[in-house]
Amino acid sequence: MNKIHPTAIIEDGAELGADVEIGPNCHIGSAVSIGDGCLLKSNVVLDGQTTIGSENIFHPFSYIGGEPQDLKYNQENTLVKIGSKNTFREGVSVHRGTVGGGGETVIGDDNLLMGYVHVAHDCRIGNFNILANYTGLSGHVTLDNYVTLGGQNGVAQFLSVGSYVYTGAASLIDRNIPPYATGYGNRFEVKGVNIVGLKRQNFSRESIGEILESHRIYYRSELKNDEALRIIEETFGESSAVRAFLDFIYSVEGGGKH
């Protein structure tokens, strides 16, 4: 049974799943679909063509599905798609996509967006990511899985962040970050490998060693890019963990250093 506070506004056409709880002063738009077991604590706005999975939690003053902050936007019918078991803390904003950017902003499952995080138009966020307080993603940013962005991070447009990346607080991310990296800086620099995160996700000692050596060859040796990648391919190309690192560089960076 749904539990809806009498001060909540639910526009005609909105779809609610089972066991949805909507607190005081929430506003649900006519094109919004909410899955089973979601909780809107209070003063939450869900707007636009927004589809939400099950068991998501929305804290006060979060605003999901708002118009993109793009001057080219002209009220096109673009989307926000959200999976299940995500937590949106106070003041989080997620904007819908733009026609030029593919038309949808996508958030997967089991993500934590802490207070005042902003997800701009056409971003794609995978699963099990943590975005700490006041972090902002510009338009067209991609986060893979198990990424942790420190507080007050800013990510520039059209960038990609690979899985298992960990960034320090107050970092300005103006380049793509390959899987497993950790670093920080006003102009972000890769400083090493996110060993703690890999251990928490039960990577084997052997895989962690292969990742460490691959990062050393690519970032710390005097080899040119192509030569470093060739050696990594020859030495660790059969490793699935290193393969993810190589595939990211080839597909996102074209083999260039970050």
pLDDT per position as a tens digit, 121-173: 999 999 999 999 999 999 999 999 999 999 999 999 999 999 999 999 999 99
Is residue 196 over pLDDT 50?
A: yes
Question: Where does CATH 1.20.1180.10 sit in the chain?
Answer: 198-253
Give mean pLDDT, residues 213-239.
96
> Based on the number of CB atoms within 10 Å of its own CB, is 71 exposed (0-12), middle (13-18) or buried (19 or more)?
exposed
Position 256 scores a pLDDT of: 56
Question: Where does CATH 2.160.10.10 sit in the chain?
Answer: 3-195
Q: 3-195 domain in CATH 2.160.10.10?
A: yes
Interatomic CA distance for residues 221 and 240, integer angstroms: 23
Position 258 scores a pLDDT of: 44
Is residue 230 over pLDDT 60?
A: yes
**Two tokens, residue 256:** 């260039």
Residue 54: pLDDT band with limits 50, 70, 90: very high
Residue % of the chain over a pLDDT of 90: 97
Domain 198-253 carries which CATH code?
Answer: 1.20.1180.10
**Which pLDDT tens digit goes with each residue over 6-41?**
999 999 999 999 999 999 999 999 999 999 999 999
| Per-residue buried b or exposed e for 13-23, using 16+ beta carbons within 10 Å of the residue's own CB | ebebbeebbbb
Reference 51, options 94, 114, 12, 6; nearest CA is: 94
Residue 103: pLDDT band with limits 50, 70, 90: very high
The H or E element that residue 195 is part of is: helix 195-200
Give mean pLDDT, residues 92-119.
98
Phi-psi map region of 202: left, alpha, beta (phi>0 left; psi -120 to 50 alpha): left
DSSP 50-118: EEE-SS-EE-TT-EEEEPPS-TT--S---EEEE-SS-EE-TT-EEE---GGGTSEEEE-SS-EE-TT-E
Residue % of the chain over a pLDDT of 70: 98
Do β-strands 181-184 and 189-193 pair in parallel, antiparallel, or remain unpaired?
Answer: antiparallel
Residues acting as catalytic residues: 121-122, 139
Is residue 208 over pLDDT 50?
A: yes
Position 166 scores a pLDDT of: 98
Residue 255: pLDDT band with limits 50, 70, 90: low
Mean residue pLDDT across the chain:
97
Residue 253: pLDDT band with limits 50, 70, 90: confident
Is residue 257 over pLDDT 80?
A: no
Interatomic CA distance for residues 197 and 44, integer angstroms: 32
